[in-house]
Amino acid sequence: MSENKSFLRNIIGEYMSKLGKKNDKVVVVNADLSGTCRNQNFVEENPHRAFNTGIAEQNMISFGTGLACEGFIPYVFSMAPFLTMRACEQCRTDVAYGNQNVRMIGVYAGVSGGISGATHWAIEDCGIMTSIPNIAVFEVSDANQAKNLLDYSLKYNGPMYIRSSVEPTENIYDEDVDVCAGGSTLVMDGDDGAFLCSGVIVQHAVAAAKRIREETGKKIRVVDMYSIKPIDKNAIYEATITGNVIVAQDHNIYGGLGSMVSLVIAENNLSTRFKVCGVPDKFVAMAHAGYLYRQFGIDAEGLKMEMTKMLKGE
């Protein structure tokens, strides 16, 4: 793997050790997946602050909520589909209803699990978590952004859900990149069109925008909408001024970032050409993530083609 790429679940899991040193109230709760979630270092260094509920995600969420009630800052880790679907009731009733300071970390976001197949993909998780009151939903796209989001999580008041791909991602940002609830990051500026995206897809949108600029001279804005809920409405307003907006996401086309952006556009009567590119609303055969991104048109070439058609008015 290129030195300019990182595996975000590794970054998040390994950074927990530093986070634990910054605040002695930090605790980690696993559902028998500390290896998969890469937080073994914290577990080994802090055996009195690490808990394993076994393969029981519902218990994991409830246990983490109890720790939050006692003043701790629990980080509960699992694969995103197990955390958000199997334990959905506990996320809503235990964590969100009481507005508890639980940080829920879901790895294997989208179809990044590749040949693990539909059981291990999370193409519904944003739809689930954004529909639950009080839960802030984030998706990380870069190593420095992931670290800074974890630092931010120490002071954030309320539940957080952080989704992370297991695909390698380009290192995009400097160490001081800012992150906050309701924020976004302008990765590339442009006034001919805009990609609004998050997570691993950001790197593909950047590559697409660069190719379009090289081939046509058109300047395409790329905005990392890392805070999916609350969402940065101003970033959406500014994107629509270009007249050509594509949301690109590793999530079902329904219920994810695209739906959040659509709501802002519709409620504010914003005028723009608009398309959501993501995982189609159907079950597909398992394959490596890169192949699936090509099939769904959310890799660099697919996004370039969609934006080029939009610019032509097609």
Closest CA relative to residue 262, chosen from 240, 280, 241? 240
For residue 124, what are its two tokens? 């519904």
Q: What is the DSSP string of 120-183?
A: G-BSSHHHHHHTSTT-EEEE--SHHHHHHHHHHHTT--S-EEEEE-SSEEE--S-TT----TT-
pLDDT of residue 36: 86
Q: Are residues 191 and 304 in the same domain?
A: yes
Q: Are residues 206 and 293 in the same domain?
A: yes
Cis before 47? omega within 30: no
Query: What is the DSSP code (8-state) at residue 227?
Result: E
Q: Are residues 147 and 35 in the same domain?
A: yes
- Identify the domain boundary among 121, 140, 168: 168
Closest CA relative to residue 152, chosen from 119, 177, 133? 177
Structural domains in the chain (count): 2
- Identify the domain boundary among 108, 141, 168: 168
Cα 45 from Cα 226, distance rounded (Å) = 30
For β-strands 185-188 and 220-224, DSSP reports them as: antiparallel
Q: Are residues 158 and 232 in the same domain?
A: no
Q: Are residues 197 and 124 in the same domain?
A: no
Q: Are residues 51 and 145 in the same domain?
A: yes
In a domain, 216, yes or no: yes
Cα 208 from Cα 302, distance rounded (Å) = 8
List, for residues 3-60, the tens digit of each pLDDT value. 688 899 999 999 999 999 999 999 999 999 888 889 889 989 999 999 999 999 999 9
pLDDT of residue 189: 98
For residue 33, what are its two tokens? 């997946």
Domain residues for 239?
183-310
Contact criterion met (CB below 8 Å) for 113 and 86: no
- Residue, of 111 and 43, whose pLDDT is higher: 111
Q: 99 exposed, middle or buried (CB, 10 Å; 0-12, 13-18, 19+)?
A: middle
In this model, does residue 298 exceed pLDDT 70?
yes
In a domain, 11, yes or no: yes
List, for residues 201-248, the tens digit of each pLDDT value. 999 999 999 999 999 999 999 999 999 999 999 999 999 999 999 999
Cα 281 from Cα 251, distance rounded (Å) = 10
In this model, does residue 2 exceed pLDDT 60?
no
- Identify the domain boundary among 168, 195, 217: 168
In a domain, 248, yes or no: yes
pLDDT of residue 110: 97
**Torsion angles phi and psi, residue 255, rounded to 5:** 90, -10
pLDDT of residue 3: 62
pLDDT of residue 4: 83
Q: Are residues 161 and 190 in the same domain?
A: no
Read off the CATH number of the domain in which 215 is found.
3.40.50.920
Indicate the average pLDDT of the chain: 96
Q: Are residues 28 and 140 in the same domain?
A: yes
In a domain, 41, yes or no: yes
Read off the CATH number of the domain in which 140 is found.
3.40.50.970
Q: Are residues 285 and 208 in the same domain?
A: yes
In a domain, 174, yes or no: no
The crossing angle, in degrees rounded to 10, of helices 143-153 and 8-22 is 30
List, for residues 252-273, the tens digit of each pLDDT value. 999 999 999 999 999 999 999 9
Q: Are residues 7 and 41 in the same domain?
A: yes
- Reported confidence tier of residue 1, pLDDT bands at 50, 70, 90: very low
pLDDT of residue 35: 84
Q: How many CB atoms lie within 10 A of CB 112?
A: 29
Cα 102 from Cα 68, distance rounded (Å) = 6
Cα 211 from Cα 202, distance rounded (Å) = 14
Q: Are residues 11 and 148 in the same domain?
A: yes
Q: Are residues 147 and 198 in the same domain?
A: no
In a domain, 149, yes or no: yes
What is the arithmetic mean of pLDDT over 106-110? 96
In a domain, 23, yes or no: yes
Q: How many CB atoms lie within 10 A of CB 4?
A: 10
pLDDT of residue 161: 99
pLDDT of residue 278: 98
Contact criterion met (CB below 8 Å) for 97 and 123: no
pLDDT of residue 84: 98
For residue 66, what are its two tokens? 């109890």
In a domain, 178, yes or no: no
